[in-house]
């Protein structure tokens, strides 16, 4: 936590539900003028697999004719792990976005709507066993991996967990960088995940517009082989490598083409494969 985070105990009055499927905001952290994260109370009945998403939102503006308000819902990856007693989300702020133009102003004690029906393909069940697990993400596509990186199962079946996160600017990497720094130094997380498991994480952040230690689209770094040289690992191999991908449609399409060219096949919950993909947003 830092001074960008607002956090205080939720009072009894704040916890009174006024929305359908209401949950109460327990902390909010802003990273840039386009990115923030927040935590909410977790419905007692909600079970999910780390990596899944749910629909969340707020009540929309009243209909000018009827005065009626309808819920305004959007898909959001749950960024917290399945064992966490609260739920965490990592969000974009779209200036004229119907939901996030409002959601970006939530404060501790406010309520959001959360439909407790988790779904998604970025789950361990959709991957065949392997040795090396890649998480390829851009922008808010890091969110499902924030969940999976805190899930003990992630480390059980792999020797290495390679996390790539590409953003335009350095500040947009902050949420992911902080999370990895936190889980590898926090005593509770070290005890839960195991020191030897945390040592399996290879974090590979890159930027494309602002200068940083590593620049370039991850697709370019895969094609050139630079990613593998930098990490000292062999090129992608369907016998050993598994991947989960989360970014824009264009990013997902380009990464999928590279993974398929290397001989990996896309999997699903019903038919596990060597890689799985989910959109970080539509458009």
Ligand X SMILES: Cc1cc2nc3c(=O)[nH]c(=O)nc-3n(C[C@H](O)[C@H](O)[C@H](O)COP(=O)(O)OP(=O)(O)OC[C@H]3O[C@@H](n4cnc5c(N)ncnc54)[C@H](O)[C@@H]3O)c2cc1C
Residue ranges in contact with ligand X by CB under 6 A: 53, 74-77, 90-92, 94, 97-101, 139-140, 143, 278-283
**Contacting residue, 119, 248, 258, 272, with ligand NAP by CB under 6 A:** 248
Nearer to ligand NAP, 136 or 155 (CB): 136
Contact 241, 274 (CB under 8 A): yes
The single residue listed with the structure tokens 């990273």 is 31
Please choose which of ligand X, ligand NAP, none residue 219 contacts, taking the beta carbon within 5 to 8 angstroms, the exact cut-off set by kind: ligand NAP
- CB burial of 230-242 (b: ≥16 within 10 Å; e: otherwise) equals eeebeebebeebb
Nearer to ligand NAP, 114 or 236 (CB): 236
Please choose which of ligand NAP, ligand X, none residue 138 contacts, taking the beta carbon within 5 to 8 angstroms, the exact cut-off set by kind: ligand NAP
**Contacting residue, 40, 167, 244, 259, with ligand NAP by CB under 6 A:** 167
**Contacting residue, 50, 138, 147, 154, with ligand NAP by CB under 6 A:** 138
Distance CA 234, CA 193 (A): 26
The single residue listed with the structure tokens 């939720």 is 10
Distance CA 33, CA 258 (A): 33
Number of H helices, E strands in the chain: 9, 12
Give the sheet arrangement for strand 132-138, strand by strand.
201-207, 160-167, 132-138, 241-247, 275-279
CB of 41 to ligand X, least distance (A): 18
State yes or no: residue 178 binds ligand NAP (CB under 6 A).
Answer: no
Alpha-helix residue ranges (DSSP H) falling in the chain: 100-103, 143-148, 152-156, 174-185, 187-193, 195-198, 218-224, 226-231, 249-261
Please choose which of ligand NAP, ligand X, none residue 28 contacts, taking the beta carbon within 5 to 8 angstroms, the exact cut-off set by kind: none
CB of 229 to ligand X, least distance (A): 30
User: Residue 142 — φ and ψ, nearest 5°?
Assistant: -70, -20
State yes or no: residue 249 binds ligand NAP (CB under 6 A).
Answer: no
State yes or no: residue 265 binds ligand NAP (CB under 6 A).
Answer: no
Please choose which of ligand X, ligand NAP, none residue 250 contacts, taking the beta carbon within 5 to 8 angstroms, the exact cut-off set by kind: ligand NAP
Q: Which two tokens stand for residue 48?
A: 């999910």
> Which residues in this chain contact ligand NAP in the complex, by CB under 6 A?
34, 138-139, 166-168, 208-209, 217, 219, 248, 250-251, 254
């Amino acid at each position: 936590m830092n001074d960008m985070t607002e956090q205080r105990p939720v009072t009894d009055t704040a916890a009174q539900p006024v929305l359908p499927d209401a949950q109460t905001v327990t902390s909010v952290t802003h990273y840039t003028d386009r990115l923030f994260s927040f935590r909410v109370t977790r419905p007692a009945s909600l079970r999910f697999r780390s990596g899944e998403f749910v629909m969340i939102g707020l009540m929309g503006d009243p209909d000018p004719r009827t005065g009626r308000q309808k819920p305004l819902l959007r898909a959001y990856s749950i960024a917290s792990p399945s064992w966490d007693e609260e739920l965490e989300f990592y969000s974009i702020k779209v200036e004229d976005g119907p939901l996030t133009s409002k959601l970006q102003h939530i404060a501790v004690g406010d309520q959001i709507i959360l439909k407790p029906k988790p779904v998604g393909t970025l789950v361990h069940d959709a991957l065949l066993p392997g040795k090396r697990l890649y998480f390829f993400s851009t922008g808010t596509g890091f969110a499902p991996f924030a969940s999976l990186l805190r899930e003990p199962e992630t480390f059980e079946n792999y020797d290495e967990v390679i996390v790539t996160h590409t953003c335009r600017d350095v500040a947009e990497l902050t949420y992911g960088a902080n999370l990895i720094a936190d889980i590898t130094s926090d005593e509770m997380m070290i005890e839960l995940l195991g020191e030897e498991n945390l040592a399996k994480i290879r974090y590979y952040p890159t930027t494309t517009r602002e200068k940083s230690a590593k620049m370039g689209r991850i697709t370019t770094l895969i094609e050139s082989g630079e990613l593998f040289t930098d990490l000292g690992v062999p090129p992608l191999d369907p016998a050993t490598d598994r991947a989960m991908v989360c970014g824009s449609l264009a990013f997902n399409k380009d990464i999928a083409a590279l993974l398929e060219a290397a001989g990996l096949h896309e999997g699903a919950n019903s038919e596990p494969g060597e890689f799985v993909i989910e959109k970080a947003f539509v458009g």
